[in-house]
Amino acid sequence: MKGVFIRRVLSRMFAVWAAMVMAGLAGGCASTGVVQQELTDRLRMQDYSRVLRLLENRKCSTFGGRNQILYFFERTLVLLFSVLNYLMLNAVD
């Protein structure tokens, strides 16, 4: 039962994250487009540590200035995804 709930939450969070990314790209954050695509690909593969490293490496160059809020938003969601994934994998039904 817990596993089903966590999967639903994870699925909804990913949908919200994808919508926010698209809104950010449409709103003038186009310089982050390439990074966003790589982040999305890595998240689909559940490679959370790689996503966090990518975010950290691109923190200044891609997420500097007015995109800094996007950096913190992305980082928070990746951490939430990794925790929910951990809970889902270790859930006892």
Tens-digit pLDDT profile for residues 34-45? 777 888 888 888
CB distance 84 to 10 below 8 Å = yes
Query: Nearest to residue 84, comparing CAs of 19, 16, 20, 5?
Result: 5
Domain ranges, residue 55: 2-89
Number of domains in the chain: 1
CB distance 52 to 59 below 8 Å = no
| pLDDT grade for 2, boundaries at 50, 70 and 90 | low
